[in-house]
Every structure is written in structure tokens, then in C-alpha cells.
Structure 1
Amino acid sequence: MERDIAVKSADDQMKWGSDVAAELLRRLGIEYVCINPGSSFRGLHDSMVNYLGNEEPSLILSLHEESVVAIAHGYAKVAGKPMGVILHSNVGLMLGMMSIFNAWCDRVPMLILGATGAVDTAVRRNWIDWLHTSRDQGALIRNFVKWDEQPTSPTATVDAMLRAYMHACTAPCGPSYVALDRRLQEDALSKPIEIPDISLFAPPHPPKPATEVVERAATLLAQAQRPVILIGRASHAPAAWHARVALAEMLGARVITDLRFGASFPTTHPLHGAPPDLFLTPRNRRILADADAVLSLGWDDLADVMRQAFTDSGRRATVIHASVDYQVHNGWSGDHQRLAAIDVRIACEADVLLEPLLHALSKHDMPPKPATTDRTASAPQPGPIVAGRKPTLLDIGQALLAARADRKLCLARVPLNWPAGAYPFEDPMDYLGYDGGGGVGSGPGMTIGSALALKGSGRIPVGLMGDGEFIGGATALWTAAHYRIPVLIVVANNRSYYTDEVQQEAVAVARGRPPENKWIGQRIDEPAINIAGLASDLGFATEPVVRDSGDIQTALERGLDEVEKGGCYLIEIEIEPSDGSSLDWLNHH
């Protein structure tokens, strides 16, 4: 990343309240802090630029608070550690709230600093200080952050930020929030502030499961004839990836993965079920319904998945579930999902279980597993793309597979209804997953944040998204262009929020009303938005809209070439409006 170079200041002493916060960011190892500027944190802004010299960490400017947080979210999904965020008073916090909720639901670490107009009414400057001051500002987001605080002194700021970082990075991870009063930032220090050894406040090591619980799980799995492994939220670390493969092979277990959580198991492996989706597909439902033992590794909506598979059969499998997610369930939102019936609960992160479980299983004699009629790998068998017609998402997937050749790509985002069978996942960094909260507009920011973390890794970040998703966060592209963050954005444009057209069609049909009206309040047309033109104005290289399926691969190859050279590139592909979305799709999901 090309950071903005600050004029060196002769004043490198910690003299102001905001200098303390800036110094802590540096000592905590925060590499970048993303902001949209505001007067409530002008003191901290000055400390970042003139006290720290805009180095370690560097400021990153984004044009909207929703993207500010989304960029930090995407960064954390790749880096596995927090990026800093600063939000301007109550108004900036409210603008960033949806993205904070995404980070909470996706369990990614994030350190958010806020600010408020002076709490002391006697020193508020004018009407804007009053508007930008809220009582208990953290209450706006308290239900979906790990921890929040509003310190009232520089010494308390040290404690607040150390605690915020520790909570954010302790599994289940999530965002933490510290609000700094304007006067606290701008007042001179009355005495030297001692910052303790940061290593003494490091997040705790993840707890390991009790030996007797692991032994019980191993016995049940070893005795099972038809075990199934559900892999949900999982580490991108290569060692964990290989351990999951080893576990499935040792058990002869079928594996079901989920498009929400990123690549967690090779989709070309013979033990992998149907290509991953956002919902349990009919084929995976059959695989799960046949199981006599189920190992859930961080699966998010375990109860609903089991209900789908076993409702009609009148039976249930033995269920083993490894997760610490329950520790942050608070009932405010439904991110805790339905309460699952579990035979063996293992209170540890899913990947922490792998090594001791493999060791325990190695001491068991595995009975032979019965043959199955549904044991083919889900590797794609793409045929030639038919030219001369409007593209589909399947065409995009097949063309991307062909265009990548020997390149290493990282899909930072894919559209709803993505045909995962057209593009295999063979490495934990092949795909990063969704945004957690299921809103609209996080795609560009999260893609650019992941691209920032991937820079120099040898992987090319690719964000595939629909037009509605792109338009909601398009201004994030300027950040990538300004800081020279190489990234490829591909927009599948059907000029509609078409998934919601399908929903409206379903309601109309159920009520005996005309489904032809489904488009009203959904179509993004008349005028059509010039997506490529918008991207160009924000600093991206683009090309004419791709309207023929036969032209997709060549366009993707051009885009990948440009990103390999360090460029920012966008390709707009006009797809069949109803591609991947129909009442049949809705009924299956």
C-alpha cells in the first residue's frame, strides 16, 4: 500500500491526551486505521499524522463510514488480526452500524475508536458539539460488540484500549468500541503517562478441550458407520485445512461445507458432498439424513440443518458440536440461531479440537464403512461456454476457472446464487465467505480490505458481486485506487434486486395476485447506472460492458493481468436478469 507521506514533525513527545491513544495503536501492532474524517476526533487525527508521522499505523481514508468498517472487516478475514477504525461521534457511528453488525455476526476482530463532542457542557464549542454528543454513545452498538468503554482520563484510556483489543481478539472474536471525549483528546497531559508492557495484556491462548470429552467424541465417531462432518466457521491456516482433510479421511466421513464461511475443505475431494451453498442443498440434505453421527465444527445454524435432514425420517443422528460461539450469544438479535440438541458439547474453537481428536481416533480400530452410491467428488465438469448469448453466473464461474490458469486467486465475495460447482475451492485462501449480517453494500469495502491484507502475498483478490451490492458501497473503490491496492472487481449486473423480485413473486402467487408486478420497487433501470463509468471516475481501469458470454474469459484475463501489475480493475458483465433466481430456487432454499 502506498501511504500518504506526512511532513516530519519536530515534536515527537507524548503531550496530549490523543497522543496516548495513538501510541497505544502503535504498540498494539495495528498496521492501518481506516477513517472518514470528523471534527470530534481532530485531536486523535493530529496525533496519528503529526505525533506518529502516519506510520505504524497509517491512516486510510474511505468515503463513507459503512465502507470504513467493511474495509477493516475484509482485512481481518485475511490477516486474522484487527485493523483500526475511527468513527466520527454519534453520526459516524450510526452510519457504520450495519457494518459493525456484519463484523459481529462474522466473528472477526476489530478495534473501533469513536469520539464525542465534549461531555462537559460548559466547554462545548457551539451547536455542532451539542448535536455530536450523546449520553452513553456505546449503547447504540452494545448488543453487537464484544466490549465498549468511554474513558474519562488518559490513564483510563490505556486500560480501555488494552481491554478492547484483548476482547476483540479473544474467541469468539468481534468488534470492540472505545469512545474518546473531544476534550480528553485535546487537553494537554498534566503528568507523564506510563504505558505498560503490551505483552502482559495479550489475548489468552484458546482453551483446549477436556481429554475425557475428546475421548467420548472419538469413540462415538469411530463406531459410526455413516459419519458426516459439518464445517462452518473455520481457520484459513493451512495446518487446520490439512487436519480437517486428515480427519475426514480417517473417519471415511462425508463433508458438508457452507458458502457463508469461506473455503474450509477441498470441494474436489471425493468425500466432499454437494458444492457449498448458502443453504442446505437437496443432495447434502440426503447425505446428512443418512448419517448416524454428525461432527459439527463451528456450524452456525446446526439446529435448523438437523431439522431439515431428519424431520421426515423420525430419527436423529448422534451430534457432536465444537464451538465457543455460545459465549457471545445475548438474545438481542437472532445471530445465535435456533437452540440445537447436542449429545457432546465441546467448548473450544473448532480447529483447536482437530489435533487432539485425531490423536484420540488413532487409538481406535475403525470398522469398515459401507459403500455409498453418492460418493463422487463435486469437481466441476465445465463444458465450453456458448457464445452469442447473454452471460449467466455459471458462465462467469467457468470463465474465471479457465482464466486463472496457474494464478492464485482469492475470491473475497461471490454473488447470491453463485454456482459454486463451477469453481472449485482447493486451498483455504481460495474463498473468504460472506459478510455475516446479510445486508447490502459491504462487498466493495470488504473486497478492498481483503486486498490490502493480501498485498504482496502472491494472490490476486477478486470480488464478484451483483449490481445492487456494488452500488451500495461503490465509493470504497476510491480507497483502493488512491492507495494503489491491487484488486479485481467483477459486477454481475441484472439491473435489479432480483432475489427480492423472486420473493415478491412468491407472495403474489401465494395470494392469487399478479406476479407480473414483482419488478416494481426492485428494478435498477431507466436510467441504467453506468457501473463501469462510475468505477472509472473513482480511479479504476475498466472496459466496455461485457454482454456476450463468449467475451467473459478474455475480459477476465485482461483484468487479472492488470491486477498482477498492481492495478485496480473493474469488469461489468450484463447477465440474464433471472439468472440463478427463480421460484424453484426459492423453494429449494
Structure 2
Amino acid sequence: MTTVNDAAWELLRHHGMTTVFGNPGSNELPFLAGMPEDFRYVLGLHEGAVLGMADGFAQATGRPAFVNLHAASGSGNAMGALTNAWYAHTPLVITAGQQVRSTVGQEVMLSNVDATVLPRPLVKHAAEPTCAQDVVRTLSQAVHTATLDPAGPVYVSVPYDDWAAPVGTDTAHLLDRRVVAGGAVAEAEIARMAGLLDAAEAPVLVLGPDVDSARANDDAVVLAERLGADVWVAPSASRCPFPTVHPAFRGVLPASVTGITERLTGHDVVLVIGAPVFRYHQYDPGEYLPAGTRLLHVSCDPGEAARAPMGDAVVTPIGPAVAALAEAVTERGRPARWDTAEGADEASVPDAGARAAGGRLVAADVLATIDALAPRDAVYVNEATSTVGDFWANIRMRRPGSYYFPASGGLGFGMPAAVGVQLADPQRRVIAVIGDGSANYGVTALWSAAQYRIPVVFVILNNGTYGALRGFATKLDALNAPGLDVAGIDFVALAEGYGVPGRRAATLEELRAALTDALAADTPTLIEVTTEALARM
């Protein structure tokens, strides 16, 4: 007899989802006991870390990742991380164990009451199969739903007695299914946009994370060069869609109305690709666009297109759209070309004696040192939120898939995501730059890194305070608010407790030595760097 459990694992294998990220409870054991030998289980010590690892893994591979959580409590623990996955358009299939089907209505211990309501609105779809024979079809639906544009998380609650039940007679058909989106490039709209860009005197590109997700970075370079256009990265950047060493790159737009308007002044046509219009943060009201400026929007997400407060939008696959636009626009005279020659963008190394007034290191110098020593194809996971500006100013990123940041701003993404990204991309070295406040939300990921020998280099910028929060407190005249400081944490001791070698760097010379050794190792390393407490927003 083929059981639901047998068929579910076969379905996952068919879709290449042979890595399971999880933290098990009693409801999940009947499912996990049947895991085939060709699957890999990655254990996280907290569900937030579990989902963060899966988030990084799925973003880096571009394919759906499988997550197994424990009932309502485990799902609740993962909700903060789920917020980041939702806004990152990360394809995740999240399963949660449910109590025995006949007892759920009694609300016995570990029942997931109203299971489909719990994860909303942070999932594309949530389901609990109506019977055991519908479990595998529901899982199949989840895989396809998670991967169709816009990609995103899907949640399935499964009563644990369903796994031993016999499958239905139609389960075999699920392995033969293909679901392919028929969304070809909207050729007429692309041609129209190309005409508007050609007619513009000073067009500008604003590129978002979906450009990097679609690996359309190279086509974006061609588009910018043919237009001779400046390129900005959309506000609150969670990925890097354009090489930061390109002469057209201007930086990351601020997450405020007036800040964006100021940066876009002088441009008559703004083309936003693969990002919302716009994800504001700080309340700073004003005119949405400079007078006389027209906005065009290309998105894979109908919701993003519909809720934008201005501009003409087309919903279409990002990769083909960028390639089509790059082909359709007319090349202008002598555009800026990117010199890709090795050594064309050599780093300047900070003075080894550089220190802040209080004897701590300046974050910009720390980041410049990391950039100087890191491989050219290094991947960065950043969750040092008070030094984001310094990061973009000092870290050079050249290749697609080089940068990950929490898409919703929710802390706890960085350390787990770095583990997931390194698992997905073992040929490139992952460097996680994490603030001391952020680190505490995902520090258990160190255990997983140690257990599975995942060679992430974790660099903790320890300034003893929630730097970004203190920056906002200054702007909001709220410096008397409690809870702004997190002094007295020894991250080296924490790392070693989880099985990760740790070193402390109080000077740039010590940082260089520690980073050189860490990059030469084939196991994870944590480096704690004491930095100044000034928040740079």
C-alpha cells in the first residue's frame, strides 16, 4: 500500500525539493519518520531561524524551498521571518503538523485552531486538506502556487494521522503535471514604454529586487547603457539588481517621499522595474514626483501595480521584459560602458590606525576593509541596519545574487539567511554583516552553521545599541524612550557556545588578520568588531 507519506516525499523529490528546513514537534514526527535517505534535513533551533534559512536558500537558488514547522506555536514563532519572505517574493512551501483530524474541533493540546487563518496575510495561499486523500494534491497546489509570479510563501496544515492513510487513485497524475505561466512579455506595452524612453531627454532607471531574482542584471546594464541613463536602486533595497561599480550607478533611493523626489529631480521619465512604487518608511510627505516627470512601472506583481499611487504600470515577467526593453530602446551617443577588466576597480584600504573618537572603529572603515579582502564574487547578507548607507558606499557588488537584506525590515533574517544562501551557493563565499541588536534575533543559526559545517563568515558590528532605532529616536525627538541600548553581550562567547570559532577585532589590523583566516577556513567563523555608536541613516 502506498501511503500519503510515501506519495508526499515522491512529489517533493519530483520538484527537486530534497532539502527540508525544520524544527520538529510531536505532530511532525509521523511525517519525518518516513523521510527518504536522499533527502537532507537542516535543523534550526528556533522556527524564526528555520524560516530565515529557507528564505535565503530559496532566494539564492531561485527555486521553492520546503519548510516543516510545529503546529500553531512553531508557525507563530516563524511569523516575523515570514514577513520578510512575503515581501521578498520568496517561493516557500511551509507545512505545519496538525493534531489528529478527529480531535481538532475539541481544541486538544497542540491543535492548530483555524490553521488557514493563522499565517494570513503573509502567504499567497493557506490550506488544510479536507481529507487524507487530498493531502498530496494540496501539496502539489502549494508548490505551483509558490512558484508562479509573483512567487511567495504558501502554508499547508496536515493532521498527523493523514500520513499513514492510503493515497487516492489519482495521485499518480500529480507527478506528471507542469504548470507554466502563459504571461509572455506584453509586447505592445514594452514598445510603448520604449518609445517614451526614447523621447525622454533625461530618463532614469529605478531597479528593484525582482530584477536580481530574475537574474536580469546584465540586461539592465545593457538597458542603462543604451539609454545613457542614471540607475538608482529602489528604496529599502533587499537585493542588488545592478553592479555598484558601474559608472551609471547612483546608489539607493531613500525611503521617503521628499527624499525620492529630490533625487529624481531633473529627470522627465522614471522607469521602475521589479519594485513597488515606492516602499516608503520615514513619514516625510511632499509631492510624489517632480513637476513634469512621468513614471513607468514594470512589475511581476499585480498587487504592487494596482496599489501604486502614480504612474503607468504593466504586469509582466521581469526577465523577458528587461531584455525586451534593452533591445527596443534606441542607443544614444557614447553611453557609459562598464569596464569589467580584472583590477579595474581596485579598493582603497583604510589606514590601519583609523579609529573613532571613542576608540572604537568607524563602520565605514570596517566595511571598506571587508571589501578589500573579500573575493570579487563574494555574497553579502546584511543586517546591520544603522550602517546601510556605509555598506552601499563601501561594498562593491558586481554579480547577480550578491546581496540579501530583510525585505520587510524585520530583524532575525541575517544570520539564518546567510546559512541558507551559503547552502544554496557553495561555490561563492558568504559574508554576513550583522548588527549586535539584529544578531540576537537569529543567533541560534550559529548552531546550524556549526553542525552542517557551513562556512559563513559572520561579522558582528557591536556598537552596544540599536543604532537604527537610536537614529529614528533622534529624528522623532524620542531619545528618552527606554530600551535603546543592548550593551554587555559577548558574541565571541556565544559563538563558541554554539560551536563556531570566534575572534574579537578592536583594530583594523586585527580585523584583517581575523578575516583572512576566516576566508581561508572551510567552517563558519564569527568576528566581533567594536564600532562607534553613531547611527548613520
The question of a shared fold, defined as TM-score above 0.5 by the shorter chain, is answered with yes
Shift of 1:547: 1.6
* 1:81 pairs with one of 63, 78, 103: 63
Name the counterpart of 1:215: 191
Tell me the residue number matched to 1:399: 369
Q: Partner of 2:34: helix, strand, or coil? A: helix
Deviation at 1:210, TM superposition (A): 2.5
Structure 1: runs of 5+ lacking an equivalent = 1-13, 330-335, 371-376, 510-514
Q: Is the 8 A contact 1:319 1:342 kept in 2?
A: yes
> Does the residue aligned with 1:130 lie in a helix, a strand or coil?
coil
Secondary structure of residue in 2 paired with 1:103: helix
Q: Does the 8 A contact of 2:142 with 2:155 survive in 1?
A: yes
Secondary structure of the 1:270 match is coil
In structure 2, distance between residues paired with 1:551 and 1:92? 40
Distance of aligned partners of 1:238 and 1:152 in 2 relative to their CA distance in 1, 3 Å threshold: closer
Q: Do the aligned partners of residues 153 and 161 (structure 1) sit closer, same or farther apart at CA in structure 2, a change above 3 Å counting?
A: same
Cα deviations across residues 161-194 of structure 1 (Å, max 9, x unaligned)?
A: 1110001001111001111112212x44277674
SS of residue matched to 1:533: helix
User: Is residue 378–residue 421 contact of structure 1 (8 Å, CA) maintained in 2?
Assistant: no
- Say whether 1:496 aligns with 2:496: no
Asked if 1:569 corresponds to 2:525, the answer is yes
1:337, distance to aligned residue in structure 2 (A): 10
TM-score, L = length of structure 1: 0.82
Larger C-alpha radius of gyration, 1 or 2? 1
Write the deviation string for residues 50-95 of structure 1: whole angstroms up to 9, x where unpaired: xx12x2x211111011111111000011100111101111111111
Q: For residues 54-203 of structure 1, what are the structure 2 equivalents within 5 Å? A: 55=38, 57-121=39-103, 130-185=108-163, 187-189=164-166, 194-196=171-173, 198-202=175-179
Q: Equivalent residues in 2 for 1:125-524 (5 A)?
A: 130-185=108-163, 187-189=164-166, 194-196=171-173, 198-202=175-179, 204-205=180-181, 207-236=183-212, 240-258=216-234, 260-273=237-250, 275-276=251-252, 279=255, 286-302=262-278, 311=287, 315-327=291-303, 339-343=308-312, 345-361=313-329, 364=330, 366=332, 383-387=350-354, 389-404=359-374, 406-416=375-385, 417-418=387-388, 419=390, 420-432=392-404, 434-455=405-426, 457=427, 459-508=428-477, 515=479, 517=480, 520-524=482-486
Partner Cα separation in structure 1 for residue 54 and residue 253 of structure 2 = 25
Cα deviation code 1:82-123 (max 9, x no counterpart): 111011111111111111121111111001111111231399
CA RMSD of aligned residues (A): 3.1
How many Å apart are 1:279 and its aligned residue?
Answer: 3.4
CA distance, structure 1, for counterparts of residue 16 and residue 490 of structure 2: 41
Deviations 1:389-439 (A, max 9, x none): 4112101111012212x553110224112311111221113223x122211
Identity %: 25
1:382 to 1:190, Cα distance in 2 relative to 1, 3 A:
closer
Secondary structure at the residue paired with 1:491? strand
Runs ≥4 in structure 1, deviation > 4 angstroms?
Answer: 190-193, 280-287, 307-310, 364-370, 377-383
* Aligned partners of 1:256 and 1:284 also within 8 Å: no
- 2:280 and 2:345 mapped to 1: Cα distance? 24
In the alignment of these two chains, the number of paired residues is 522
Equivalent AA in structure 2 for residue 266 of structure 1: P
Structure 2: stretches of 5+ with no match in the other structure: 337-343
What whole-Å deviation, never above 9, does each CA across 1:10-33 have from its counterpart, x for those lacking one?
xxxx64332332222222210211
2:460 match: secondary structure: strand
Instruction: Supply the distance in 2 between the matched residues of 1:238 and 1:193 (Cα, whole angstroms).
Output: 34
Cα distance in 2 for residues equivalent to 1:337 and 1:533? 49
Give yes or no for contact 1:320–1:342 (8 Å, CA) kept in 2: yes
Counterpart of 1:546? Answer: 505
Whole-Å Cα distance in 1 between the matches of residues 261 and 510 of structure 2?
Answer: 37
Describe the SS at the equivalent of 1:158.
helix
Residue 436 of structure 1 aligns to which amino acid in structure 2?
A
Q: TM (normalized to structure 2)? A: 0.89
